Structure 1
Amino acid sequence: MADKLLLINASIANRAVFKITFKGRRDIQAANDAGEAMRFADRIPPDLIALDIGDDQGAGIVHGMIRHFRNAPSTRNTPIVLLASTAQEPIAIRGLALGAVDFISKPLSPLVLAARVQRHLDLKQERDTLAHHSGIDEVSGVASLSHFDAHADREWRRALRHHTKVSVAVIDIDNFRAYNEQHGYIAGDEVLRQLAGALADEIRRPSDLLARYHGDQFVALLPDTDGTGASHVADRLLSRVRNLRLPYADNNGGHVTISIGLATLEPKSRDGLPEFLSLAADALSSAKQGGRNQLKTLP
């Protein structure tokens, strides 16, 4: 399958260079503005984003798009390459500090474009392969979603055989999207790392697993744990994060907080795991609607 390139705000000339350079070897999706680009990326995550800095584009628009793509779960690890003329280099350099990986000078050279794009696609593939095989989320340092899925499936089937209960907690960082928008993705990643370390300290048994779930969410699987035991664990998680007192002036209380949705079941069928996780997600929604910084349990 061809790598997918998302080309944003490109001039007619630069679209032509991309088409000629990658004809038949890359799947190119062209977006005319930030809104269209974000919709494309959310629907089909690209392997590389190329953002053409136009003469009529202010730094705020360019840097806002970079922040969005760095924060969005679907594009968090997608390399962003900027296309910049000499006059636009200050915007591009600031873009590198915000998370872009490279900028290519305009007018575009097909040979340079092909080499630089290939290099960043190769690096992304290496990172993706390493993360997949290691089972570790590269930002937070806890288990990855793929590792969680495999572990949860094994534990679910084991509980089904032995008629034991399983609990799961879905943990969401309150108002984290706003935190990233205000403080930037670098600060956001640091919060993720600190929270992950603190939460992992409270997930103590070898059979338990904490993983990065989706964006600003973690998930904790607790095999052989009834509702009472799981509630004790969840209360420890809430207290640990409150005691961290990570500053967040715009959040209630002035510090980073979490909400937790908890579910406990004895498995009755092999294919019941997705519904089980949905129960915890529903409990999390109830915790958020109830004011955040709290635990809700289903059923």
Structure 2
Amino acid sequence: MSHYTQWYASPGGQPRLLLVDDHQLNVRVMYEMFRHEFDVFIALNGEQALEKCYELHPDLILLDVVMPRMDGYEVCRRLKADPELADIPVIFITSHFDEADEVHGFELGAVDFIHKPVNPIITKARVKTQLQLKQQADLLRRISQVDGLTGIANRRRFDQQLELDWRNCCRAQEPLSLMMLDIDYFKQYNDEFGHLAGDECLRQVASTMQQAIGRPYDLLARFGGEEFAVLLPRTDLTGAQYLAQNMLQKITQLAIPHPLTPGGIVTLSAGLSSTVPQEQHQPRQLLQQADQLLYKAKQQGRAQLQASLWTGV
């Protein structure tokens, strides 16, 4: 495999294509066909294909049907059974033309079949068609997961990402931190200044918190009303506390006038919980503890952070 490493395209802005075939000659032919238009990655068996899907999240998979140990059908079945990978389109590559096999492949969730020997023009056309369909579906999905007022993720996106981050951190045995934040005395702010001013306040707070998040895989979401949530995978309690305090400080520095608070400006209360996820636990338990810590922050005077490790007890 080492002498094929030079084939791997460097990840960039192009779509990611995963080629899965146990015959290196077939892989070489397919690689040469697509390397100028895609970031191409290679797996030589089913197990390796699944590992690379978790690692790379390719935009499309060209999957050989007949492979030892784990055939293409089993790989596809496992992909479609995992919510994290189920949206990746799969095109089967096969040297057999059997109607029953194709029906089985489509039932498993494949989007197309390509028959060997591969015709470059037909194969490229089918790949481009499926990528265009996926890009359209991804765009619609992103639109459905954005909060219309603030432009950050909505509750639906948060719930989905919490499940994904929990599974990923559980698999890798890495920490996951979850933060719940609430704008203090926001009802009184709306009563004093009106809902239009309240909406502008929400947008300013969301924008400022989004700027404070430095990594692309961290997620800020509007949880509901004036409440926000932050997911921080691969972040322990110490790192999450630093970010949380920075967020609270940046909101204070905005100095949005709010005469009905003790300090006269808009502030945040926050609850933060961190754990290394375990299979016997559920992500909603981490969410519940963060919410309880947020309630504690409000009870103890607001404009503060309450944080704790969660051990599952």
Give the TM-score category using the shorter length.
0.5 to 0.7
C-alpha separation between the residues in 1 aligned to 2:223 and 2:194? Answer: 21
Give 1:184 deviation, angstroms: 1.3
Contact 2:237–2:308, Cα closer than 8 Å, also in 1: no
Give 1:142 deviation, angstroms: 0.7
Contact 2:208–2:250, Cα closer than 8 Å, also in 1: yes
C-alpha separation between the residues in 1 aligned to 2:253 and 2:142? Answer: 33
SS in 2 for 1:281: helix
After superposition, give the CA deviation of every residue in 1:217-261 in whole Å (9 maximum; x if it has no partner): 010100000000000000110110010000001111110000000
Contact 1:132–1:146, Cα closer than 8 Å, also in 2: no
Match of 1:64 in 2: none
CA 1:177–1:282 in structure 2 vs 1: closer, same or farther (change >3 Å)? same
Contact 1:131–1:137, Cα closer than 8 Å, also in 2: no
C-alpha separation between the residues in 1 aligned to 2:247 and 2:280? Answer: 29
Aligned residue pair count: 171
Q: Aligned match of 2:169 in 159, 162, 185?
A: 159
C-alpha separation between the residues in 1 aligned to 2:281 and 2:202? Answer: 31
Q: Which amino acid is the alignment partner of residue 238 of structure 1?
A: L
Q: Which amino acid is the alignment partner of residue 171 of structure 2?
A: R
Q: Does structure 1 residue 259 correspond to structure 2 residue 259?
A: no
C-alpha separation between the residues in 2 aligned to 1:145 and 1:131? Answer: 14
CA 1:270–1:149 in structure 2 vs 1: closer, same or farther (change >3 Å)? farther
C-alpha separation between the residues in 2 aligned to 1:134 and 1:213? Answer: 15
Counterpart mapping for 1:104-123 below 5 A: none
After superposition, give the CA deviation of every residue in 1:174-227 in whole Å (9 maximum; x if it has no partner): 010111122111110000000000000011101100000011101010000000
Give 1:151 deviation, angstroms: 1.2
Q: Which amino acid is the alignment partner of residue 275 of structure 2?
A: L
Counterpart mapping for 1:63-74 below 5 A: none
SS in 2 for 1:213: strand
CA RMSD of aligned residues (A): 1.7
Q: Which amino acid is the alignment partner of residue 215 of structure 1?
A: G
Contact 2:219–2:230, Cα closer than 8 Å, also in 1: yes
Match of 1:125 in 2: none
Looking at both structures, which has the greater relative contact order when contacts are Cα pairs under 8 Å and sequence separation is at least 6? 1
CA 1:131–1:171 in structure 2 vs 1: closer, same or farther (change >3 Å)? farther
Counterpart mapping for 1:1-299 below 5 A: 133-269=143-279, 272-299=282-309
SS in 1 for 2:273: strand
Q: Which amino acid is the alignment partner of residue 156 of structure 1?
A: W
Structure 2: stretches of 5+ with no match in the other structure:
1-139
TM-score (norm 2): 0.53
Which of these two proteins has the greater Rg computed from alpha carbons?
Answer: 2
Match of 1:124 in 2: none
SS in 1 for 2:224: coil
C-alpha separation between the residues in 1 aligned to 2:281 and 2:236? Answer: 20
Match of 2:89 in 1: none
C-alpha separation between the residues in 2 aligned to 1:226 and 1:242? Answer: 25
Contact 1:152–1:221, Cα closer than 8 Å, also in 2: yes
